[in-house]
Structure 1
Amino acid sequence: MSSGVQQRKKSDISSQIEHGVSPEKKGPEPKNSLAGRPRRRRRAPGQPLAREWVLGFGLMMVGVLLAGYFLMSRHEKVQMEHLREDIIHDKVEPMSREWEEKLAALEEERDSLKKEVTESAQFKEGKTQLEEQIHQVEDIREKQEHDIQHLIDYKRQMQRNIELLSKTELLEKFGPGPHYVEINLGFDPEFPKGNESDGNTGRIVIELAPVEEMPHTVYWFLEQVNRTLYDGCSFHRNAGHVIQGGPAPNFLSPPEAKLNRRFVDAGFHSVLFQEYSPNFPHKKYTLGFAGRPGGPDFYISTMDNSLLHGPGGQTNYEDSSEADPCFAKVIDGFDTVDRMLLSPVKPGNYRAMVTNVAITSMKIVSYERKKEEKGETLTKDEAEEEKVKNEVIESSKEEKLSKSEKEELVEEVEKKSKYLKHEIVDSSSERKEKEVVDEDSESKLKNKLAEDVKQKQEATERKLENDSLDLDGVLKIRAKRREKRRIGQPMKLLVFGLALANGFVVPTMQHANQLKTSNSLFVATGDVATEEEVDCVVIGSGLAGLSCAALLSHCGKKTVVLESHDTPGGCTHSWTRRGFHFESGPSLYSGFSMDRSPNPLKNIFQIIEEDCEWITYDRWGTVLPNGEKFAPPIGPEGLAKTLKQHGGPGAEEEFASLMERMAPLSDAAQALSSLALREDAGAVVTLLKYPFELFRTLQQGQALNEPFSVIMDEMKLKNKFVINWLDMLCFLLQGLPASGTMNAVMAYMLADWYRPGVTLDFPKGGSGEIANALVRGVNKFGGEVRLNSHVDEIIVDQNRAVGVKLASGKVIRAKHAVVSNADPFITNKMLSSARLAGHLSNEAIEYMNKLINTDAEDGGVPNLKSFIHIHAGIDASGLPTVASEDFPTQWAVVRDWDLPEGVEAPRNIVLCSMPSLIDPSLAPEGKHVLHAYVPATEPYEWWEGLDRDSDDYKKKKEEAADFLWSAIEEYVPDARNRAVPGTVQVGTPLTHERFLRRTRGAYGPRVEAGKSTLPGHKTPLEGLFLCGDFTFPGIGVPATAASGAVTANTLVSVPQHLGMLSKIRLPEK
């Protein structure tokens, strides 16, 4: 037993002794008792309760009382809460609502009383003012009615003046009539036939309305025909009551052909007003202009449409009282018209033909020719007129008139049919004197002018009626002078009409092409004759076309460059607005300021001994997706700094290893000049001029053509910055990532940009100076660059390109070659007439079809995407005036490295340029000029089909501008607020397509290394050569220049080629 138990027992015994109770002796425990269970002791009689019991009972009673109290308090609290809510709901809220209603009623009553007091005080004054306003409205309405009537009279007067001038122009250029036009058609072999004799061609002859009835519309249509604007269009709609034709691609043309632009560019899209004569209604087999005011679509009525298309017939137009201009009638070819009615139509209300009918040509034919073709006999007077004309022409030929004698003859004829406007205002000094008139003399001048016009017109008509020569016999002699007046005539009509309506004299009009004549570099479109012959014709004045032409001229080839635009240079052309000089294309150049350079364009400058003044600088900036900016100098030191700061550990080592691996390829890429290439057997001789360089290039030939990504994989590059940086460089060079860029391109670039002492170059005066230098090279050796000279057709004879036909109708023959610097889609379009006539071999047709095939699944080459641009002049206050690392002249902005499409993702990379930092002459003092664009990442499909005048198009341009501004604001945060009004210009893929004549606005072909190749420059069509970025070696300034050079090399002799190579200065090895 433990000591604790013993002590407890002693304590119990002591307690018993203290209370007089003797301790009991314990006996053995009963056997049935539970082991270890204490036995309960019984209280002896009279023994008091234990204190613990009393205490427990008391605590229990206290708990009961507290619980009862708590339950009672909670119940009362709940009852009080319910009571409070009942009082609020039943008493307070109704009372509150009642008082609010009473307060609102009192406020309303107060406002009403206030209003009554105010009205009672101002009633008389208000009534007086109202009466005055009513009188003012009535006066305004009367004035408006008077103004409307004045405008109607003004409009009628202007229309009469336009008719008068149109009539004068028509009589002078096309004679008094009657006028006939021959329409030649081409039918698809599957087109329904009306007769068994129907073939694949058709012919319609129309006689135009008398000049007195429809002078303006007849003149307009004759100009459209004379400019061959309808050639290549189609009859495309069979509406049952009419057959409609116009600028819609025919079944021989590519679907994306933009024929409507031809009419817009020529200025003859739609007539100037809705002319109609009741004496020439819309009878069956007559022709009318569709739309309001009418054109360029026209229709042939196949039933009497006098009511439907006459005055009041077209109720869907705002002024339903007007009528469609009816201007001609069919006199031959009725069966052809009826055959077109057999065409099935596509579903829908428009009733488009399933297969349209091609308009192969439209031409004006003379009255005599028409009668001879019909087998009719000329009358005595007609025969006499024909005899006189023939005598004049034959005498000119036999006597071989000198130039001065021809000019005298021209002057004599011009005296008979001189422009009235030139007789009214004879010189600029007279114009100035006549323009300074006071108000009293204006009405006298107006009356005098009207009388002069009437007298001159009557005199001119009398002279023309009495002149047996008409104008037909001398039109050929006067072609030079009339050709100069061809373009811009619609504007002259409008100005003349406005002038006579207001009583002012007419200023002399000067067209854009004539503005260029003051510059000796260019030749305007005033062609000397309707046909001429040269050695070579180059279509397009891009860098490739100009490079080719300059070298051909240098070798003695008489070469003419024909450019549609009024500025040469293609994608490098520039323009000026409000004193700011804007660039349309590239702005990053290198290899030009060196005397010895591998740059092909620099080598061409050396051959033709022309160049630009080059400004050098040493850096361009980058903005990364994380917002970091840097613009260290280019070259090895700047590269090392960039890799260290932004590439992280291992970046420098990886890039150094790559440069070491690329060294042999870089040496091979720069060893052999592309100017040594030609596409004939003579290449063996010219290439062997550089035997060691040729060996090095051939040694690396296969590797140079592989994708750059192959080497990146081979090097096992892991640094993300290095990989992204190289991918971006590939993309900026040719629009493709590393997986599609050839090693040759990157080998050349890495060797050029990261060599010691490297600089970037910029032509002083802007990129347009590069084109100007090449133009000087063309001119100095006897060539010509002709602006505003749009080529409509490449003339082919027995599978040989022999010349071109311009939109003006002029033909230029090419003895040696026609070189197209246009893209293959436009080139193919210019061959459509030759295709239809069967002048192309099957091999040539297949070759051209292959060039325009963009379906990759069908073996074609897709196009790269297009661009969006923003150009602006900004206030330079507070901005740096010199480029630096903190404020570079050029920078690239990358938005995201990790997009699925990578660097090719739409609007992922933006290139920005502020060239006025290095060439202040590009902007007015205190200003800067800006240019930002996305490099070939804008899908054409986002803009396709939009009307340039629509709100949707304008909205999309605003969105594009916002995106481009955000890239500019990386370095100029408040650039938008600094913009000079009138200088902000936004370019879209449609802009590229229109002004640069790039089909679908494309940057170029998407030729991926290892998957497809670029075509050469010779074609199966003899005499036709191609150059530009759709041919070898591809996209970029050096590549396009090389393309033009290789084409020129092929067209000159080997000795001439070697002579050019002797003038270039390549880097020393």
Structure 2
Amino acid sequence: MLKACFGNTRQLILGISAKLGLVWEIGKPEADVVVIGSGIAGLCCAGLLSRYQQDVLVLESHSLPGGAAHSFEKKGYKFDSGPSLFSGFQSRGPQANPLAQVLDALVATGRLWFLWDLEKYGSLDAAREWRKLLVYMFAEWYKPGCSLEYPIHGTGAVVDALVRGLQKFGGRISFKSHVEIIVVENGRAVGVKLRSGQFVRAKKAVVSNASMWDTLDLLPKEVIANRIKMTPQCESFMHLHLGFDAEGISEDLKIHHIVVNDWERGVDTDQNVVLISIPSVLSPDLAPPGKHVLHAYMPGTKPFGLWEGLDRKTAEYKELKAKRSEVLWRAVECAVGPGFDHEKCEVKLVGTPLTHQRFLRRNRGTYGPAIQAGKGTFPRHSTPFPQLYCCGDSTFPGIGVPAVAASGAVVTNSLVSMSQHSKLLDAVGI
């Protein structure tokens, strides 16, 4: 068994997660652009469109924003439901993160772009010396005690920042607004119909942040999308969310851990790799005083077929859930070390592929399209229907937080002029 820990994580402060003004009523039942889903991609797309002075309405089926990146609270513990490992959050240079660039455009992050300012206002020698120093410092990253970035106040703080940016520029977001149908008239997407029966008109475009399979289910039944039906899916997840007392736990506990049971089996095999994050190590406000919050999961390696058709209320389901989660518990014991007792956990939440499917509204609980690098390409953002676009992990450039943020930005810039795009780049200094 191999256990790797990423410690001393550099703290990325996005500001305190504000209490958002959650909207439960749609208000005006039309917009220039209607965005289905408030995942990272959908929020990036909607926020940027709002900055471009488009009238935007985001329709979210859940009661919380964020999609697969949403956060939730249980007994005073605040949990990340999805991504918690961030590697690089700069918005400049060859390693620029598209999400950071969107945040630059939507919210004031309080960061100074020192090198950019140095090149603009200083001498060439000053900028050259600074670059040399950066090269030296980057080499330190590979030494023991290396650091990765994590958003203080949790991944939910990133989502909250995107929602604040959307609302800052006049965009709207409505929760518990489940889209049942994308309405197509004369071959063109003209709006959506909600489960409540209400029609919401989109004057310029409908953007789906749902997966390709879930988007297909929203279209008229006569639509046959062979490529979507033939695209293989990544497997699903199992999750373990815990809240426990920090008494007796090492004070040197690290935030990120990877437990690999058997390298010979490969990192993409079932029941072999567990990722663990304990964000309260860096952001104590995510748990009650003297407590820790933990999220462990098996990343896209859980076969949905084992669970398909099971009733969550049956003994069969509960027995399978207990059996298949044992590897998660063992990994947590390995990562947290002596002092951890799962019997004393104040919160124990085990999520299965059915849980993943239900709460995230992901077809078969999938992680996304299983497209191998060099052997296929992710679909583009336009569709055969004029005015219907897609963003998120089913579109180029693919799966992951930076990739889906980029997909949202691509759709945005497909709906505005080049001059508008250029002005925004100048405004944020990119």
- Would you say same fold, with TM above 0.5? yes
SS in 2 for 1:548: helix
Q: Normalized against structure 1, the TM-score is what?
A: 0.35
1:794 and 1:999 mapped to 2: Cα distance?
17
Q: 2:341 matched to which residue of 1?
A: 976
Q: 1:521 matched to which residue of 2?
A: 21
State the shift of 1:590 in Å: 2.9
* AA matched with 2:260: V
Question: Is the aligned partner of 1:898 residue 2:264?
Answer: yes
Aligned with 1:850 (options 211, 227, 251) = 227
Q: Please tell me whether the aligned partners of residues 612 and 770 of structure 1 are also in contact (alpha carbons under 8 angstroms).
A: no
State the shift of 1:640 in Å: 5.7
Report Cα offsets for 1:553-589 as digits up to 9, x if no partner: 0001100000000000001101111111111001111
Q: Please tell me whether the aligned partners of residues 591 and 602 of structure 1 are also in contact (alpha carbons under 8 angstroms).
A: no
1:556 and 1:1019 mapped to 2: Cα distance?
24
- What are the equivalent positions in structure 2 for 1:403-442 lying under 5 Å apart? none
Q: 1:760 matched to which residue of 2?
A: 148
State the shift of 1:1063 in Å: 3.4
SS in 1 for 2:190: strand
2:394 and 2:341 mapped to 1: Cα distance?
37
1:546 and 1:639 mapped to 2: Cα distance?
34
Q: 1:874 matched to which residue of 2?
A: 244
CA pair 787-1052 structure 1, distance change in 2 beyond 3 A: same
CA pair 831-994 structure 1, distance change in 2 beyond 3 A: same
2:340 and 2:404 mapped to 1: Cα distance?
34
1:801 and 1:610 mapped to 2: Cα distance?
35
Aligned with 2:106 (options 599, 603, 608) = 608
* AA matched with 1:1054: M
Report Cα offsets for 1:239-268 as digits up to 9, x if no partner: xxxxxxxxxxxxxxxxxxxxxxxxxxxxxx
- What are the equivalent positions in structure 2 for 1:673-712 lying under 5 Å apart? none
State the shift of 1:790 in Å: 0.3
State the shift of 1:944 in Å: 1.1
2:37 and 2:141 mapped to 1: Cα distance?
40
Aligned with 1:780 (options 168, 176, 181) = 168
State the shift of 1:539 in Å: 0.2
Q: 2:15 matched to which residue of 1?
A: none
Q: CA RMSD in A?
A: 2.2
1:992 and 1:998 mapped to 2: Cα distance?
7
State the shift of 1:1010 in Å: 1.9
Q: Please tell me whether the aligned partners of residues 537 and 814 of structure 1 are also in contact (alpha carbons under 8 angstroms).
A: yes
1:947 and 1:770 mapped to 2: Cα distance?
35
Question: Is the aligned partner of 1:987 residue 2:357?
Answer: no
Q: Please tell me whether the aligned partners of residues 574 and 767 of structure 1 are also in contact (alpha carbons under 8 angstroms).
A: yes
1:569 and 1:603 mapped to 2: Cα distance?
18
Aligned with 2:139 (options 636, 656, 665) = 636
Higher normalized strand content (fraction of residues): 2
Question: Is the aligned partner of 1:794 residue 2:182?
Answer: yes
* AA matched with 1:850: R
1:1050 and 1:926 mapped to 2: Cα distance?
49
Q: 1:574 matched to which residue of 2?
A: 71
Aligned with 2:297 (options 928, 933, 940) = 933
State the shift of 1:1062 in Å: 1.6
1:527 and 1:1044 mapped to 2: Cα distance?
22
Report Cα offsets for 1:477-509 as digits up to 9, x if no partner: xxxxxxxxxxxxxxxxxxxxxxxxxxxxxxxxx
Aligned with 1:819 (options 200, 207, 210) = 207
Report Cα offsets for 1:312-352 as digits up to 9, x if no partner: xxxxxxxxxxxxxxxxxxxxxxxxxxxxxxxxxxxxxxxxx
Q: 1:1034 matched to which residue of 2?
A: 398
Question: Is the aligned partner of 1:945 residue 2:309?
Answer: yes
Question: Is the aligned partner of 1:864 residue 2:234?
Answer: yes
* AA matched with 1:896: D
SS in 1 for 2:236: coil
Aligned with 2:319 (options 955, 959, 980) = 955
CA pair 595-1015 structure 1, distance change in 2 beyond 3 A: closer
SS in 1 for 2:322: helix
Q: Please tell me whether the aligned partners of residues 20 and 164 of structure 2 are also in contact (alpha carbons under 8 angstroms).
A: no
Q: Please tell me whether the aligned partners of residues 521 and 775 of structure 1 are also in contact (alpha carbons under 8 angstroms).
A: no
SS in 1 for 2:300: coil
2:355 and 2:38 mapped to 1: Cα distance?
18
- What are the equivalent positions in structure 2 for 1:281-300 lying under 5 Å apart? none
1:923 and 1:1062 mapped to 2: Cα distance?
41
Q: 2:89 matched to which residue of 1?
A: 592
Q: 2:192 matched to which residue of 1?
A: 804
**Deviation >4 Å, runs of 4+:** 593-597, 610-613
* AA matched with 1:1016: R
* AA matched with 1:976: D
* AA matched with 1:639: Y
CA pair 1009-590 structure 1, distance change in 2 beyond 3 A: closer
- What are the equivalent positions in structure 2 for 1:224-373 lying under 5 Å apart? none
Q: Please tell me whether the aligned partners of residues 823 and 999 of structure 1 are also in contact (alpha carbons under 8 angstroms).
A: yes
1:607 and 1:591 mapped to 2: Cα distance?
18
Q: Please tell me whether the aligned partners of residues 521 and 779 of structure 1 are also in contact (alpha carbons under 8 angstroms).
A: no
Q: Normalized against structure 2, the TM-score is what?
A: 0.85
State the shift of 1:611 in Å: 4.2
CA pair 939-1014 structure 1, distance change in 2 beyond 3 A: same
Q: 2:288 matched to which residue of 1?
A: 924
Aligned with 1:1048 (options 392, 397, 412) = 412
Q: 2:375 matched to which residue of 1?
A: 1011
Aligned length: 386
Q: Please tell me whether the aligned partners of residues 551 and 608 of structure 1 are also in contact (alpha carbons under 8 angstroms).
A: yes
* AA matched with 2:264: D
* AA matched with 1:591: G
2:51 and 2:199 mapped to 1: Cα distance?
24
CA pair 973-937 structure 1, distance change in 2 beyond 3 A: farther
SS in 1 for 2:44: helix
* AA matched with 1:861: T
State the shift of 1:895 in Å: 0.9
Q: 2:114 matched to which residue of 1?
A: none
Q: Please tell me whether the aligned partners of residues 536 and 557 of structure 1 are also in contact (alpha carbons under 8 angstroms).
A: yes
Query: Which sections of structure 2, spanning at least 5 residues, go unmatched?
Result: 1-17, 112-136
State the shift of 1:963 in Å: 1.3
Q: 2:30 matched to which residue of 1?
A: 533
Q: 1:304 matched to which residue of 2?
A: none
State the shift of 1:1065 in Å: 4.8
1:930 and 1:967 mapped to 2: Cα distance?
12
CA pair 1006-951 structure 1, distance change in 2 beyond 3 A: same
Report Cα offsets for 1:433-486 as digits up to 9, x if no partner: xxxxxxxxxxxxxxxxxxxxxxxxxxxxxxxxxxxxxxxxxxxxxxxxxxxxxx
Aligned with 1:545 (options 22, 30, 42) = 42
Q: Higher relative CO (CA 8 A, sep ≥ 6), structure 1 or 2? A: 2
Query: Which sections of structure 1, spanning at least 5 residues, go unmatched?
Result: 1-517, 614-633, 643-757, 836-844, 854-859
* AA matched with 2:200: I
Report Cα offsets for 1:778-797 as digits up to 9, x if no partner: 11111101100000111111
Report Cα offsets for 1:276-320 as digits up to 9, x if no partner: xxxxxxxxxxxxxxxxxxxxxxxxxxxxxxxxxxxxxxxxxxxxx
Q: Please tell me whether the aligned partners of residues 548 and 1044 of structure 1 are also in contact (alpha carbons under 8 angstroms).
A: yes
SS in 2 for 1:603: helix
State the shift of 1:1053 in Å: 1.1
Larger radius of gyration: 1
SS in 2 for 1:1005: coil
State the shift of 1:825 in Å: 1.5
Percent identity at matched positions? Answer: 47
State the shift of 1:769 in Å: 1.2
* AA matched with 2:255: T
1:611 and 1:586 mapped to 2: Cα distance?
20
State the shift of 1:958 in Å: 1.2
State the shift of 1:861 in Å: 2.2
Q: Please tell me whether the aligned partners of residues 192 and 200 of structure 2 are also in contact (alpha carbons under 8 angstroms).
A: yes
SS in 1 for 2:162: helix
Q: 1:1061 matched to which residue of 2?
A: 425
1:978 and 1:1003 mapped to 2: Cα distance?
31
